[in-house]
Amino acid sequence: MSKKVLIASDSTCDLSPELIEKYEIKILPLRVTLGENEYFDGVDIDTEMIYSHYERCGELPKTAAVNIAEFSSFFEKHVNEGYSIVLFTLSSSMSSTYNNAKLASEDFDDVYVVDTKNLSTGGGLLVLTACEMAREGADACSIAEECGRLAKKVDASFVIDNLEFLYKGGRCSAVERLGASVLQLKPCIVVKDGTMGVGKKYRGKFAVELQKYIADRIGDASDIDTSRIFVTHAGCDSAIIDACVEQVKSMGVFKEVLVTRAGCTISSHCGRNTLGVLFIRKNEIV
């Protein structure tokens, strides 16, 4: 008889509490340091606390990976309960979380660590796929292998209204920030090969440019797995979110349109007023 399969992820998958409960996903939170205090992402801190602190002090939080000891303790507990484990992490190019989990897993049988090569619900798409495979009876090894292949097909991108957080975090220059502000540029941040890069730059009002961005990313949807799409945001106005969700739904091709808010780790880097559509393509992204 095959073992029960437990699906887990670090907190950067940005899945909603409802999805986490529905699919019985275990979440290991990254640490977030705000001022002199340390918190756990999504446990005792939320994004509004980060934004409020920044508005008062001009200080961005610092984030830290789940450490080896925490992973080891987690693996030991659930392996002893009879589970095999598939754990998903933020891209190894963006954090040491994957390497820490991989090192910890070497002491256990039937523990598989998947590098999503992505962030936010780009990884969340793989987590939900894994949950569905587990419910259909797939074993942990098969799930990890399939999701490792699917990672190359995840299309993850975001449009950022304001480059302030990227500038403060050292991810863009003062000249780039000033130019974007003067020209009303809204850059599209695209994840490729596990790292973030700048794609198309939109110019104009945020709400209007988001409509153009969504049309550009989805196109005619002929190369998209239309079973699921995420609209993920970092504190956007509800009217903007609703308009984007309605646009996606009006295309009439996606079976499931899920809305989530980016967690503390992701929001610490992009800031308020960031929104993206994330989905899986039928072919690998080149």
**Does residue 125 or residue 176 have the better pLDDT?**
125
Above pLDDT 90, what percent of the chain?
Answer: 71
Domains annotated on the chain, with CATH: 4-152 (3.40.50.10170), 153-281 (3.30.1180.10)
What's the confidence (pLDDT) of residue 176? 45
- Asked if residue 235 lies in contact with residue 217, where contact means CB atoms within 8 angstroms, the answer is no
Residue 195 has pLDDT above 70, yes or no: yes
pLDDT winner (highest mean) among 136-140, 165-169, 178-182: 136-140
Mean pLDDT (the chain) is 90
Up-side HSE of residue 181: CA atoms within 13 Å toward CB? Answer: 11
For 206, list phi and psi in degrees, rounded to 5.
-55, -50
Residue 174 has pLDDT above 70, yes or no: no
Residue 183 has pLDDT above 80, yes or no: no
Q: For residue 32, which of 54, 4, 6, 5 has the smallest C-alpha distance?
A: 54
pLDDT tens digit string along 7-49? 999 999 999 999 999 999 999 999 999 888 999 998 999 999 9
Order of all β-strands in the sheet with 224-233: 195-203, 185-192, 154-160, 274-281, 224-233, 257-261
Residue whose token pair is 């794609």: 199
Q: For residue 247, which of 282, 212, 204, 196 has the smallest C-alpha distance?
A: 212
C-alpha distances in Å from residue 257, one per residue of 108, 174, 231, 254: 37, 37, 7, 7
What's the confidence (pLDDT) of residue 18? 97
- Asked if residue 91 lies in contact with residue 118, where contact means CB atoms within 8 angstroms, the answer is yes
